[in-house]
A and B are shown apart, each in its own frame.
Chain A
Amino acid sequence: MKLYRLITVVALLVMVLSACGTSQSGSKVMNLYGWSDYIPQKLLDNFTAKYGIKVNYDTYSSNEEMLAKLQAGASGYDVVIPSDYTVAIMVKQGMLDPLDMTKIPNFSNLDKRFINRDYDPGNKYTIPYQWGTTALVYDKTKVPFEPKSYSDLWDPRFKNRLVMLDDEREVIGMALQVLGYDRNTTDTAQLQQAEQKLIALKPNILKFDSDTPETSIISGEAWAGLVYNGNASLAFQSDPNVVYICPTEGCGIWFDNLAIPKGAPHKDAALEFLNFILDPAQSMLISEEFPYSNPNAAAITYMETADPTFYASYMAFPGTNPSDAFLANAKPIVDVGNATSLYDSLWTDFKAH
């Protein structure tokens, strides 16, 4: 027994000491806080090479987690990546620092459609990073008919074959759209109707999954579902039979943004980073690695000549390049203030059925 203890301690020490070689000290540093694998390592390396600033990349796994942590008082981060509705909440609570646009000349590279949006008018606090949609995906070889709307999902032939995002706003929002209501309503009666509609859908739902719903589509255990465009794109890359459409009732649109939290210790480095990311060549790296839509118009133009095969595939799939028709009916999620508790109660009740 004693020998085991000794060996374990020694082994741990060895592992610890051998790894100690990697030094962390550097006078120029930027603390990035975002999802894992959301910013290409190559981009970060290019940034460090150009400016000599080391990037510390810390991770969270949801907007809500990041919000909870910052709300509780954590600080020290220079750049965070909030989604649209989270930006609105953070702005209202004074958690973000206004951006000095003079330091971000590359801002002009952005597609005009994606700036100056409701969640941050005038882009005082954020620049859009990637954007996308939330809509209907299905495998055309598995599904017995061609779904055109969310209400098709209620078809009994879908029993146990649907994968839904595990997100109360997205799913309740879908039910609201099916009923013809606003997906950000705070009307109690409408919401209760939506809940009842969802309870009727429950037998068709195989699972809820906000993380990797595409695995269910690819593995064939699910035939259709409500997913983000990124999931749909990943599914499509594995299986060309995957179709992604904006249903007749409408779909969702989302934006992830880069922002600087209040009290960021390295604001200058942060601003340099924000500007650097908007450079077309750097922005293209993001699209090449992750299957989302890029709000940087200059990057897309650059892509056409720099990487034509990738450009072709990017433009061809509605997950990365939704048409105007697709977007015509796309609505964002808006924070609903105190009605959030109501949504949550209904969601709890729905899941408990």
Chain B
Amino acid sequence: MSEKKPALWLRIYTFLAYLFIYVPILVLIIFSFNSQKLNIHWEGFTLAWYKVLFQDQEILLATRNTLMIAAIATLVSTVIGTMAALAMQRYHFPLYSTSETLMYIPIVIPEVVMGISLLVFFVLIKFTLGLVTITLSHIAFDIPFVALVVRARLHGYDNAIDEAAMDLGANELTTFWRVTLPTIMPGVLSGAMLALTLSLDDYVITYFTAGPGSTTLPLRVYSMVRFVVTPEINALSALWVAIVFVILAIGQIAQSRRA
């Protein structure tokens, strides 16, 4: 897009928007240091909850599971979803409408219905509940989100570039890999990040498709809500944010070094 700097009002607005998005995160982080267990009022500064966090085997296990499931679900659903988006935006094929409807179902279905019906389904086909069933379910609701975002990107895609590439001798696969994909990459990545976000925080569907011993972070946290959500969870979220921040910072430095 344009090289000239965006208008001042736009810069200020965006800054405010990001502020809006981050204020609760800041509050969340501050309260991870709160010595009051019930975390209602600020009582005093303490690092105790971080210590509790590192000793909490259950939470660490849940975090590991959540990350694994999210990583795999994102990967698989991005691939399948992108393929589906390409199909829907560029090709005619029989059962087009049915396919389109199918893609929208996971978006329109209430979570509790999807959760219970998947559970019943897995029980009927005698598939043991566990991390695998959770991952399979996540992929199912991630695919349409990826597909929709990539479709938005593909809309109005100028096929001339692809044709030019093929005229120059590239076959379909090479054209796709070297021309199409890079062009739609922002869409694919956005879709992937959306899928990741959905997967990391899913509760209802994960709850119903989880088996004994396969716990995830949302499952543990939502259950804590019944009694008290101690600052330990704030500590976990704060750490998470901190880690990603550090990675981003490293990335930025690495990129500017390259330039």
Contact = CB atoms under 8 A, between A and B. Distances in A.
Contacts of A199: none
A57 interface: yes
Contact of A3 (B58, B64, B227, B251): B251
A3 B252 CA distance: 9
A12 B38 contact: no
A22 B57 contact: yes
Nearest to B120: A72
B57 A31 contact: no
A226 B63 CA distance: 36
Given A7-B251, A16-B67, A74-B129, A69 B38 contact: no
B38 A218 contact: yes
B208 A69 contact: yes
Interface string A201-220: 00000000011101100110
B223 A11 contact: no
Nearest to A216: B40
Contacts of A33: 212
At the interface, is chain B mostly helix, strand, loop or mixed? helix
B40 A215 contact: yes
Given A7-B250, A74-B119, A215-B38, A60 B207 contact: yes
B120 A73 contact: yes
B213 A58 contact: yes
How many chain B residues sit at the interface, stated as a range, is: 35 or more
B21 interface: no
B41 interface: yes
A37 interface: yes
B215 A59 contact: yes
Given A20-B64, A69-B119, A211-B225, A4 B212 contact: no
B105 interface: no
Contact of B189 (A5, A59, A214): A5
Contact of B223 (A1, A16, A19, A59): A59
A338 interface: no
Interface in A1-55: 1, 3-5, 7-8, 11-12, 15-16, 19-20, 22, 24, 31, 33, 35-38
Given A16-B64, A58-B212, A234-B228, A73 B40 contact: no
Contacts of A58: 210, 212-215, 219
Nearest to B41: A219
Nearest to B192: A5
A182 B125 CA distance: 45
B77 to A, nearest CB: 15
B222 interface: yes
B40 A56 contact: no
B123 A56 contact: no
Contacts of A11: 243-244, 247
Contacts of B26: none
B220 interface: yes
Nearest to A20: B64
B228 A37 contact: yes
A320 to B, nearest CB: 15
A24 B38 contact: no
Contacts of B16: none
B211 interface: yes
Could you tell me the dominant secondary structure of chain A's interface residues?
A: mixed
A98 interface: no
Contacts of A322: none
Given A11-B243, A72-B116, A219-B40, A16 B71 contact: yes
Interface residues of A, number: 46
Nearest to A266: B212
Given A4-B251, A31-B213, A37 B224 contact: yes
Contacts of B128: 76
A166 B240 CA distance: 32
B254 interface: yes
Nearest to A6: B251
Interface string A61-73: 1100100110011
A72 B40 contact: no
A7 B112 CA distance: 35
B92 to A, nearest CB: 32
B212 A12 contact: no
Contacts of A234: 38, 228
Interface in A125-184: none
B4 interface: no
B255 interface: yes
B60 interface: yes
Interface string B7-44: 00000000000000000000000000000001011000
B133 to A, nearest CB: 10
B212 to A, nearest CB: 4
A238 interface: yes
Contacts of A22: 57, 60-61, 64
B41 to A, nearest CB: 7
A77 interface: yes
Contacts of A36: 220, 223-224, 226-227
21 contacts: A1-B186, A3-B251, A4-B248, A7-B251, A7-B254, A22-B64, A24-B61, A35-B226, A37-B223, A37-B224, A37-B228, A58-B212, A58-B219, A60-B223, A62-B226, A72-B208, A73-B120, A74-B123, A211-B225, A211-B227, A230-B227
Question: Which 9 pairs, one residue from A and one from B, show the smallest C-beta to C-beta distance?
Answer: A73-B123, A36-B223, A59-B223, A19-B64, A31-B212, A76-B212, A56-B213, A36-B224, A72-B119
Interface of A: 1, 3-5, 7-8, 11-12, 15-16, 19-20, 22, 24, 31, 33, 35-38, 56-62, 65, 68-69, 72-74, 76-77, 210-212, 214-215, 218-219, 230, 234, 238, 290
